[in-house]
Amino acid sequence: MTVYLDHAATAPMHPRAVAAMVEQLTRTGNPSSLHGAGRTARRVVEESRESLGAALGARPSEVVLTAGGTEADNLALKGLAWARHAQDPRRRRLLVSAVEHHAVLDPAVWLAEHEGFEVVLLPVDRDGRLEVDALAEELAAHGDQAALISVMWANNEIGTVQPLDEVVALAGRHGVPVHADAVQAVGQLEVDFTASGLDAMTVSGHKVGGPVGVGALVARRGLDLTPVLHGGGQERAVRSGTVDVASARAFAVAVEEAVTHRAENAERLAGLRDSLVAGVRRGVPEAVLRGPEPGAAGAPSPGRLPANAHFTFPGCEGDSLLYLLDSHGIECSTGSACQAGVPQPSHVLVATGVDDHDARGALRFSLGSTSTAQEVDALVSVLPEVVERARAAGLAGVG
């Protein structure tokens, strides 16, 4: 039996999304063409846009289709930074939380290195929650120089839900637009773009049961964005490229399914997560849960994604743990990234105060639509042996 505990990396496609995609793949038509096939394709795209808007609490015209979450984050960071600086050359400070996904951090760093912007990393507490007071101090001192704020809705590694309402309130006092990467939040938390007060929000298809290679930047009407891609200007004149009709339709169906059944799915996944956390703590008492402590059993914690459990295992290397679990048919992810083949500690864990050594012994278990209690039991049953073997291998390496 294969146990898949890496839904935060990519989720299985929902059967309805698969059916919708296959149906559209059998049809021909460029949605920018004016003939019958083109008009039919355009109708599918616009109906998908309407469905996405309804599910995400946005107007259809605010949904800009992209090739995924990374492109949407890049459009938000670069598009906002360039547009704001063009309006007011003083606005060169990019305020981003220290635990953002690299799809936000890397464009910000690129803008600093190539375009003369300045990146301000906003600190977080030990649970990975933004230090709101630090943001307030930054805005009080340099609010007239801020081009944008980017704070993710929920962290992809340790599951921390961020205080976006406080961020938006502070930003509004200084006229600074706020972007949030909501890739992990959709389908697990209530996500309403209009109610949030955000200026821009990133969503992705393959995290919620849709296909890889499609996503959207939800951008409020009137928000000035400088295009990153140039060409036909198909999407609100800020995103060029022929719209992928089949992916757009499947994306809309997947988001609709995820949002419609969010409450019951979140409750079920929180129950599984709590069983997983309790089982890991029983089997490996020295394991440290990273991120906010889960709430009561069976109830989603307001501070943590219901499907996320992230641990560090002292004395172990995350990649060793991952490969040993994989040999037992259990698939998860580490909390580190590789640069030129060399494992690096997770910037998220380091930002929360975890030292480099401990940060290398991280594993993320993320649940989803196919997760079962039997899968959790399978993990818990083999984990103590896996940790013992990984620790022994680490000691042998040191010796």
| Average pLDDT of the chain to the nearest whole number | 95
| pLDDT tens per residue across span 348-371 | 999 999 999 999 999 999 999 999
The Cα–Cα gap between 70 and 140 comes to 31
- Residue 398: pLDDT above 90? no
Determine the pLDDT at residue 376. 98
Query: Any catalytic annotation for residue 316?
Result: no
Determine the pLDDT at residue 297. 47
Question: For the residues 98-126, what does the mean pLDDT come to?
Answer: 98
Per-residue HEC secondary structure of the chain comes to CCEECECCCCCCCCHHHHHHHHHHHCCCCCCCCCCHHHHHHHHHHHHHHHHHHHHHCCCHHHEEEECCHHHHHHHHHHHHHHHHHHHCCCCCEEEEECCCCHHHHHHHHHHHHHHCCEEEEECECCCCCECHHHHHHHHHHHHHHEEEEECCCECCCCCEECCHHHHHHHHHHHCCCEEEECCCCECCECCCHHHHCCCEEEEECCCCCCCCCCEEEEECCCCCCCCCCCCCCCECCCECCCCCHHHHHHHHHHHHHHHHCHHHHHHHHHHHHHHHHHHHHHHCCCCEECCCCCCCCCCCCCCECCCEEEEECCCCCHHHHHHHHHHCCEECEECCEEECCEEECCHHHHHCCCCHHHHCCEEEEECCCCCCHHHHHHHHHHHHHHHHHHHHHHHHHHC
Question: For the residues 240-252, what does the mean pLDDT come to?
Answer: 97
Question: For the residues 210-220, what does the mean pLDDT come to?
Answer: 98
Determine the pLDDT at residue 25. 97
Give 48's contacts (C-beta < 8 A, 6+ positions apart).
248, 249, 251, 252
Radius of gyration of the chain (CA): 21
Question: For the residues 107-120, what does the mean pLDDT come to?
Answer: 98
| pLDDT tens per residue across span 12-25 | 999 999 999 999 99
Determine the pLDDT at residue 336. 57
Topology agreement, domain 15-259 and domain 262-398? no
Determine the pLDDT at residue 399. 45
The Cα–Cα gap between 318 and 334 comes to 5
Determine the pLDDT at residue 89. 96
Determine the pLDDT at residue 113. 98
Question: For the residues 296-306, what does the mean pLDDT come to?
Answer: 68
Question: For the residues 320-345, what does the mean pLDDT come to?
Answer: 81
pLDDT bin (cut points 50, 70, 90) of residue 339 is very low
Determine the pLDDT at residue 123. 98
Of residues 214 and 294, the one with the higher pLDDT is 214
User: Could you state, in order of their start, the residue ranges of all structural domains in the chain?
Assistant: 15-259, 262-398
Determine the pLDDT at residue 75. 98
Marked catalytic residue, from 19, 237, 337, 338: 338
Question: For the residues 382-399, what does the mean pLDDT come to?
Answer: 83
| pLDDT tens per residue across span 131-140 | 999 999 999 9
Question: For the residues 277-305, what does the mean pLDDT come to?
Answer: 85
Residue 125 has φ and ψ, to the nearest 5°, of -85, -175
- Of the listed ranges 65-69, 203-207, 297-301, 306-310, the one predicted with least confidence: 297-301
pLDDT bin (cut points 50, 70, 90) of residue 1 is confident
Name residue 66's beta-bridge partners: 215
Contact 70, 244 (CB under 8 A): no
**Two tokens at 204?**
């992705």
Contact 100, 152 (CB under 8 A): yes
β-pairing, 330-331 with 3-4? parallel
Give 110's contacts (C-beta < 8 A, 6+ positions apart).
none
Q: How many CA atoms lie within 13 A of 100 on its CB side?
A: 31
pLDDT bin (cut points 50, 70, 90) of residue 344 is confident
- Residue 394: pLDDT above 90? no
Q: How far is CA 267 from the centre of its chain?
A: 20
| pLDDT tens per residue across span 327-337 | 999 999 996 55
**Two tokens at 141?**
């001192």
Of residues 337 and 204, the one with the higher pLDDT is 204
Give 221's contacts (C-beta < 8 A, 6+ positions apart).
59, 61, 62
Determine the pLDDT at residue 340. 42
* From the candidate CATH numbers 3.40.50.2300, 3.90.1150.10, 3.40.50.300, 3.40.50.620, the one assigned to the domain spanning 262-398: 3.90.1150.10
CATH (residue range 15-259): 3.40.640.10
Q: How far is CA 253 from the centre of its chain?
A: 19
Determine the pLDDT at residue 295. 75
The predicted model scores a pTM of 0.95
Question: For the residues 196-224, what does the mean pLDDT come to?
Answer: 97
Determine the pLDDT at residue 393. 83
